[in-house]
A = this chain, B = another copy of it.
Amino acid sequence: MPIAKQAREPNKQEKGSGVKVVITGGAGFVGLRLAEALMQRGQLTAPGGSQEPIDSLLLFDVNEPAERPSWADERVVFQSGDIADAQTVAALIDRDDISVFHLASVVSGGGELDFDLAMRVNLHGGLNVFEACRARDSLPRVVFASSIAVFGGAGMPAVVGDHVKQTPQTTYGMTKTICELMVNDYTRKGFFDGRSARLPTVIVRPGKPNQAASSFVSGLFREPLNGEVCRIPVAPETVMPVLGYRSIVGGFIALHEAEGDSLGDDRAVSLPSFTVSVEEMVAALRRVAGNRHLGDIVFEPDPFIEAICATWPQDASYERATALGLPRDASLDVIVENYIEDYL
């Protein structure tokens, strides 16, 4: 039904001399990595279709980061606030020559513990972002961070691809699916030019564990490399698709830059991934660590985490992502090497 879109598009063409970028969840690990990559890149496709220099980068999150990153020049603004407040969000998206990466989210474990917060942040927060983009007189490109947690349930096949029915078994996955549906429909209606990137488990996150049920997957690399004990709440043979943060960030940017027509009427794309078991991840860590001292790795099953992980896909295909040129790390070992290079 391209009727509404055709009626609106003629008003939605303009050229600017620069583009503003908004990243929600911009003070989180992935948000900061994405911001740094965008600053290095320096330009993005603006709503008119031309490459424009990034003249403003707004990182919105519930809190500002503890310290200002070294790469953050005068174009970079941090702002804290509530994504569930429509007026706050509308004020972030205050130019027509703009692109939005919507990463703000309650994570999987957090969403199971606080349903209302997940609905407030993930569903109503998403709606606020989408409505603010719709209100512009342009067709902003919007990249939404979804998750392979949109898949799940008794009917889930062994390998999930972009064609698989979404029957999520967490509130997190449910709200991510809803936002994917809204991205598709707002795009179909010509309200903005949306894309959803479905993330596998992101490794290796630095810093502290978070409420994501998959938090331990980064911990099993991070804590031993820090000489600390790592307690793994699932069995060694637990399998899941993972991807390194460099490819995650590269995937966000490549999906932003892709031609809308190449995405068709389903704007949600599962990023490439590696399907590996926990014990394979531990083996990769030992290979890459070489002579480094590693903290102990202890298996201590946690039924709450195991129950959530059991609902997730064990293997994912990513033909569309590959066709779109979205990046995949060379190997699991390279992902661990990148982490050591970037953070140790």
CB-based nearest B residue for A157: B163
Q: Size of chain A's interface in residues, with CB distance under 8 A? A: 33
Contact B153 A1 (CB under 8 A): no
Contact A167 B265 (CB under 8 A): yes
Cβ of A123 to closest chain B Cβ, rounded Å: 9
Q: Give complex CA distance A340, B181 in Å.
A: 40
Q: Give complex CA distance A7, B1 in Å.
A: 45
CB-based nearest B residue for A150: B181
Cβ of A116 to closest chain B Cβ, rounded Å: 10
Cβ of A300 to closest chain B Cβ, rounded Å: 18
CB-based nearest B residue for A170: B1
- A181-B178, A182-B174 are contacts. A264–B3 as well, Cβ < 8 Å? no
CB within 8 Å of B: which residues of A?
Answer: 1, 3-4, 112, 115, 153-155, 163-171, 174, 177-178, 181-182, 184-185, 188-189, 264-266, 304, 307-308, 311
CB-based nearest B residue for A169: B1
Contact A165 B165 (CB under 8 A): yes
Name the B residues within 8 Å of A188 (CB-CB): 169
Name the B residues within 8 Å of A154 (CB-CB): 264-266
- A3-B307, A154-B264 are contacts. A185–B165 as well, Cβ < 8 Å? no
- A174-B185, A185-B174 are contacts. A1–B112 as well, Cβ < 8 Å? yes
Which of B170, B185, B266 meets A171, CB within 8 Å? B185
Name the B residues within 8 Å of A304 (CB-CB): 3
8 other contacts beyond A169-B265, A171-B189, with CB at 8 A cut-off? A1-B307, A154-B264, A155-B266, A163-B165, A167-B266, A168-B184, A168-B185, A174-B182
Closest A-B pairs by Cβ, 10 of them: A174-B185, A165-B165, A153-B265, A167-B266, A178-B178, A174-B181, A1-B307, A154-B265, A154-B264, A177-B181
Contact B1 A308 (CB under 8 A): yes
CB-based nearest B residue for A266: B167
Name the B residues within 8 Å of A185 (CB-CB): 168, 171, 174
